[in-house]
Amino acid sequence: MLSPTFLSNASDNLYHIKRTIIDPSRDLTSPARTVDILGSYTDLPSAKYAAREALLSEGYVADDFEVYQENNGKEDWKYGEGVRVYAKAFAGQVFEVRIDTKPNVGRFEGKEGCGRLFYGLSP
């Protein structure tokens, strides 16, 4: 009999939503970086949606930024592979929301219907 790992409906990849804030105001030669993992998903479309909504769900609106662009995959994208949202605040901070894709070696399964992984106690 196969082990439960091989019977699982787990996806082959995990998609981690990562927000990086780059603040050049402290030191122009080596700007401060703040990195947060906002969530992990087993479903790429859900991860793309979460990345697109990440800054908005934190209370920001597009008008809070001098530049606010979303990678819709339909135009040339100059902000790097995996970056789904690029925003630059009027004060100079840069916000990047990206999807980092990693193999799902643990065979984790996300919440049904959205693919989100929950850490600790599920809401």
**Token pair belonging to 62:** 């597009």
Q: From CA 49, how far away is CA 21, in angstroms rounded? A: 20
Per-residue b or e along 52-64, where b marks 16 or more CB atoms closer than 10 Å to that residue's CB: bbbbeeeeeeeee
- Strands of the chain (E only): list them: 13-23, 32-41, 65-70, 83-89, 94-103, 116-117
Residue 8 has pLDDT above 80, yes or no: no
Mean pLDDT calculated for residue range 34-58: 93
DSSP 72: -
More confident: 38 or 31:
38
